[in-house]
Structure 1
Amino acid sequence: MTETTFAQLSTLSAYSAIGVLTLAMIAYAFYLARLAPARDERREQEAARRATPERELVGVGGGADQDHEADRAGAAGPTSEMPVESAGARKAAGIGWTLTLLGTVLVVAAVALRAAEVHRWPLGNMYEFALVGSMFTLLAYVGWSFRRDLRWLGVFVVVPVLVVLGTAETVWYTEASQLMPSLQSVWLAIHVTVATVAVAIFTIGAALGGLYLVQDRIEARGGTRSFMARLPSARALERLSYMTHVVAFPLWTFTVIVGAIWARQAWGAYWNWDPKEVWSFVIWVVYAAYLHARATTGWKRQNATWIALAGFVCVVLNFAVVNVYFVGQHSYSGL
């Protein structure tokens, strides 16, 4: 096949993925909508149980120990909190999951076809980075879903992927071209790939962090009938968000270190105060501050999560603004 054919097939796969993931988003939204009544009923039963005097529970068989076990179960993660699902909810979740798998395969195909078109690892401009970043985000979600029930998170992962894919195909698309001499290095595959994986995991962590802040405020007000009643507790959401950041931060640290090594080989210095270098370091500092705050006694987890979200804002600015409007040695957007 010719390079033109590869380009057409890559674009077709990307647009097909957008269509499939849009249907997955709708299915996940329907799943959450059908899940709501059972979730509300379970929370009302739990509230009534906790309101029962302890001496009455002792006679039933457990008392305070039973409360302690319930607390531990609630903190274990969202799987332990999910209510019994209706047939409609299970069907919608199954459709959403199947479509997500199909969409992931289509995005992987789009990346592979782009690589065949350009005869290299496709990370030479913003379009390719967005395409590969979408792939890793979906792969991270799918891989994690094989270990725990994350169907409730599907819509919150698929939506940002759709935004990135749609923008990549309509705004950031760049015709295949040869890499600049400084990019023709094995470090491209190492440095930029790890950076893309880190950003993909940061994206999931940001979604979880945002959901946690909303859920925490609703729980503080005693709300049980809101949309968020369909999701895990604030405590479970915060723990999951923290877990994702613990995985992503070392990857970003590796990205910054390897970038300095590559800069020494390509430009003769480990650090050149290039806008991209500066913003990458700013991202590292903000996420380091989040992890430090999260582990520091006296810091509220809500405030620490706000720092994490600020870090993700820096990630978005680094990609969508610095790449386009800042001139430097990393001006490889292709736009």
Structure 2
Amino acid sequence: MHLAKVADAKLAAKKQRALVAAGAGSDGADAAPAPAFRRADVHSKARGIARATMIMGALFQGVGVVARGIEAGHVPWSTMYEYTITGTWVAVMVFLIVQSRRDVSYLAPGVTGFATLGLGLAMTVLYNQSTGLMPALQSFWLVIHVSIAIIATGILTVGAIATALQLMRDYRDENIAAVPPRGMRRATVRWRNANVRMLKRWTWLEAVPAPARLEALAFRLHAVGFVLWTFTVMAGAVWAEHAWGRYWGWDPKEVWSFVIWVIYAAYLHARTTQGWAGRRSAVVALIGFVALIMNFTVVNLVFQGLHTYSGT
């Protein structure tokens, strides 16, 4: 509801500027300037209710994570269920921390939706009783390696949501503003007109900043997440040497973790390379996030390896 009000206010400001510009063009430069839209001017009870509810949910989820750790007798990061409840909580906390520094309320539906979906799957599919740690996990490296991986996953999740909004806003703006070329077939014209009408109904995207601002925010989040994921891979290699006597053994989990690192490294390089900033680099970032989810789901549940216990 709050984002809908923000979108309506931005559309009203655009119309007012267009009217003022039309008046200035016909009557001269005497028309009064239209007031610029400011997000802070849009006050809403919905915003306060949503923020309080999200903070309360984060507190309850944090209590649940701590309670699971107390029940299990160790840090709650040893199974997919525990990783999910902790990882989704970290994603929500990352959003709340960023929100405390700047207004990114437009990310809230994506973050809360992802967290709700993750918690639903955790409770219905991934849940298991708390047990003691397996011998391979009885190491201080569990705290170091997995905690960094969880924080990196939470940050990369928020960055992926910002990237998805960037692509949606970019696609909407491009298609609405585009002038159809001459000589288009009737079927193509009808399809394009229907597509434009649908995109115009997505007025909630008016509450989202311009694609360039979203890209800048996503880049900062991905950069921090990439650094943490680098430490995740490094800590995992050191732990592997401590537990199994080798740093690297081409285990499926190790390979996928390295693939994720390569994809995000390619994204950061593409983002700073002439001609790749914008939509192209955003697609690479989303591919990295898909690989991250596959590493947590498919690799844990399908492939057999030394990390198979993480899927229990």
The TM-score, its normalising length taken from structure 1, stands at 0.80
Which residue pairs with 1:226 in the alignment?
202
Which residue pairs with 2:193 in the alignment?
none
Q: Which sections of structure 2, spanning at least 5 residues, go unmatched?
A: 178-198
State the AA in 2 paired with 1:98: A
Match of 1:306 among 276, 283, 286: 283
The answer on whether the counterparts of 1:43 and 1:224 sit within 8 Å (CA) in structure 2 is no
State the AA in 1 paired with 2:4: A
Match of 2:42 among 54, 69, 85: 85
In percent, how many aligned pairs have the same letter?
A: 40
* Residues 237-261 of structure 1 deviation map (CA, whole Å, 9 limit, x = unaligned): 1111111101111000000011101
Cα 1:211/1:49, change in 2 over 3 Å: farther
Residues 1:31 and 2:7 aligned together: no
The answer on whether the counterparts of 2:271 and 2:281 sit within 8 Å (CA) in structure 1 is yes
Which residue pairs with 2:296 in the alignment?
319
Which residue pairs with 1:277 in the alignment?
254
Alpha-carbon shift at residue 171 of structure 1 (Å): 0.3
Q: Which sections of structure 1, spanning at least 5 residues, go unmatched?
A: 1-29, 63-69, 71-79
Which residue pairs with 1:185 in the alignment?
139
Task: Write the distance in 1 (CA, Å) between the matches of 2:169 and 2:20.
Answer: 21
State the AA in 2 paired with 1:143: I
The answer on whether the counterparts of 1:38 and 1:83 sit within 8 Å (CA) in structure 2 is no
Cα 1:183/1:93, change in 2 over 3 Å: same
Q: What SS does the aligned partner of 2:126 have?
A: coil
Q: What SS does the aligned partner of 1:185 have?
A: coil
Q: What SS does the aligned partner of 1:314 have?
A: helix
Residues 1:96 and 2:72 aligned together: no
Which residue pairs with 2:13 in the alignment?
42
Task: Write the distance in 1 (CA, Å) between the matches of 2:250 and 2:213.
Answer: 40
Cα 1:50/1:206, change in 2 over 3 Å: farther
Which residue pairs with 1:199 in the alignment?
153
The answer on whether the counterparts of 1:38 and 1:84 sit within 8 Å (CA) in structure 2 is no
* Residues 213-267 of structure 1 deviation map (CA, whole Å, 9 limit, x = unaligned): 0101111123766331122111211111111101111000000011101100000
Which residue pairs with 2:265 in the alignment?
288
Residues 1:121 and 2:121 aligned together: no
* Residues 24-80 of structure 1 deviation map (CA, whole Å, 9 limit, x = unaligned): xxxxxx222233321211233445667867xx77x8999xxxxxxx9xxxxxxxxx8
Cα 1:172/1:143, change in 2 over 3 Å: same
Root-mean-square deviation (CA, aligned residues, Å) is 2.2
State the AA in 2 paired with 1:232: P
Residues 1:157 and 2:111 aligned together: yes
The answer on whether the counterparts of 2:6 and 2:39 sit within 8 Å (CA) in structure 1 is no
State the AA in 2 paired with 1:226: W
State the AA in 1 paired with 2:2: Y
Which residue pairs with 2:185 in the alignment?
none
The answer on whether the counterparts of 2:148 and 2:229 sit within 8 Å (CA) in structure 1 is yes
Task: Write the distance in 2 (CA, Å) between the matches of 1:331 and 1:253.
Answer: 22
Match of 1:331 among 303, 308, 312: 308
Task: Write the distance in 2 (CA, Å) between the matches of 1:48 and 1:287.
Answer: 45
The TM-score, its normalising length taken from structure 2, stands at 0.85
Cα 1:81/1:303, change in 2 over 3 Å: farther
The answer on whether the counterparts of 2:240 and 2:247 sit within 8 Å (CA) in structure 1 is yes
Cα 1:179/1:93, change in 2 over 3 Å: same
